[in-house]
Structure 1
Amino acid sequence: MNQRLLAEIGRTQRLEILNSLKRSKGMSVNELVAKMGMSYMGIKQHCLTLQRDGYLDTWRRPQKMGRPEMVYRLTRRTHDLFAADSNKLTLELLKSVQEVYGANAPEKLLYNVFAKKTAALKAKAKGETVADRAKWLAKVRDAEGYMAQFTTDPKQGGPQIFECHSPILNLLDQYPIVGRLEQDMFEAVLALRVRVLFRSLNRSSAAAARFLLSQPINFD
């Protein structure tokens, strides 16, 4: 975790706001008030400060009636506040592998790493149904720092594993094949096709991925 960013953000309430927003697709001030039990003006002031400092931006969420609602969401700048499994050394090692063994060497190495990780997950996977295995995989990914959750809301696309963070974001930036390897891993562990609805990796927004399960799930 980036200590400089922590010192800059300061107050515990601001960190609570960032943590709440991290596990969501964006929240209004009223939603943050209900979740945190603080005053409207207190939350609003913290959000304005975080927005001024580049940690939040806003968008207008459509409503069924009336004007769109202003919602706060995290920017890419907050990424270093959360867990990371890859770092500059990882990228330097892969670059050295490319220089020594050729242009395709890093991808071959990554493929091998994910093949082993996939085999290990398949051996440990728990659950008789796809839903049970998806819940188990989401729990494993959450423990690994992906802030994952299994949801079934039809309005959000149906059964899916929603990940609010990527500890290997810098690896994904440099080697996009990692996204495909993660998708292949999900499909192997769950034994069904998985569609990636979106993977937010642009410079202005926080990292997130949504893995949609492509067949009906029996919840009996």
Structure 2
Amino acid sequence: MFVPGFRELVKEGWVKILDELKISGGLPVPELSRRLGGSYMGMKDQCDRLVKLGYLERWRLPRQEVGRPEIMYRLAPKSEAMFPQAGVSLSLELLEAARTLFGDAAPERLLMQYFTQLRERWRPKLSKAKSMVERATLLSGLREKEGCFGRCKYDPARGFRIEEYHHPLQPVFLAFPGAITLEVRMMEELLGTRITRKEVPGGRGGPARIDYEVATLGVREGA
């Protein structure tokens, strides 16, 4: 999810490259070409332009077999400005001020009010969905408008889930872990089913992310 308005100002191909590298953590040109379409040389040219602008980095990944190291591309620190942080410094200062003025429970009460208002704002938008998958997909889209960045995924072994690679409130969650429970509870109330939140560490398989696994046999609200 780019800062609002940026998608209209930059080249569509560049947006797709940055999105894909945000999700994957880093890819070589052939794999980017396979996922996004287009020629090898065209994709390499776009990646090299983004390197010159400071939004991508190149590095060499040693091959496990004989051969030259594979050239990989990943997001540079400069690209993180494309993913909004929701005024984190101000949010944290206000929550700490509330704790100082009104006691230790004040920050959680404020965060509870925030998620309650978010739930009531989103509820009408999800009410016309005809299936759990449709509701969860709509919820993922609404979260992206708030600054999250993720994808809906499904496989027979794990079922349906929302994989998120960026959350603008992550620093708030680190300072106030109770907010995580409040957010999950809000999502469960909107979908009418159980949500299992799992933190997936980064590594060779990709960047760190948060998985929200949606129970496929949940009971809808009001059922």
**Are 1:172 and 2:165 an aligned pair?**
no
The one-letter code sitting in structure 2 at the alignment partner of 1:149 is R
Which string of whole-angstrom CA distances, capped at 9 and with x for unpartnered residues, describes residues 106-128 of structure 1?
11211121122223322432312
Name the counterpart of 2:33: 33
CA distance in 1, matches of 2:173, 2:56: 21
CA contact (8 A) 2:50 2:56 kept: no
CA distance in 2, matches of 1:18, 1:55: 8
Alignment partner of 1:128 out of 130, 134, 137: 130
CA distance in 2, matches of 1:182, 1:173: 13
Name the counterpart of 1:104: 105
Deviates further, 102-111 or 122-131: 122-131
Name the counterpart of 2:21: 21
CA distance in 2, matches of 1:130, 1:162: 16
CA distance in 2, matches of 1:189, 1:56: 40
Gaps of 5+ in 2: 4-9, 219-223
Which string of whole-angstrom CA distances, capped at 9 and with x for unpartnered residues, describes residues 34-57 of structure 1?
32646276577679889xx89669
CA distance in 1, matches of 2:58, 2:215: 32
Go from structure 1 to structure 2 and tell me whether the alpha carbon gap of 1:152 and 1:144 turns closer, same or farther (over 3 Å shift): same
The structural deviation recorded for 1:94 is 0.9
Go from structure 1 to structure 2 and tell me whether the alpha carbon gap of 1:86 and 1:125 turns closer, same or farther (over 3 Å shift): same
CA contact (8 A) 1:32 1:43 kept: no
Instruction: Give the paired residue count.
Output: 202
TM-score normalised by structure 1 residue count:
0.68
The one-letter code sitting in structure 2 at the alignment partner of 1:131 is V
Go from structure 1 to structure 2 and tell me whether the alpha carbon gap of 1:73 and 1:214 turns closer, same or farther (over 3 Å shift): farther
CA contact (8 A) 1:79 1:206 kept: no
The one-letter code sitting in structure 1 at the alignment partner of 2:109 is K
The one-letter code sitting in structure 2 at the alignment partner of 1:144 is E
Gaps of 5+ in 1: 3-10
Which string of whole-angstrom CA distances, capped at 9 and with x for unpartnered residues, describes residues 129-174 of structure 1?
211111211121122221233221336x321112222122222232
**1:84 aligns to what SS in structure 2?**
coil
Go from structure 1 to structure 2 and tell me whether the alpha carbon gap of 1:48 and 1:74 turns closer, same or farther (over 3 Å shift): closer
TM-score normalised by structure 2 residue count:
0.68
Name the counterpart of 1:211: 212
**Are 1:145 and 2:128 an aligned pair?**
no
Go from structure 1 to structure 2 and tell me whether the alpha carbon gap of 1:33 and 1:124 turns closer, same or farther (over 3 Å shift): closer
CA contact (8 A) 1:151 1:161 kept: yes
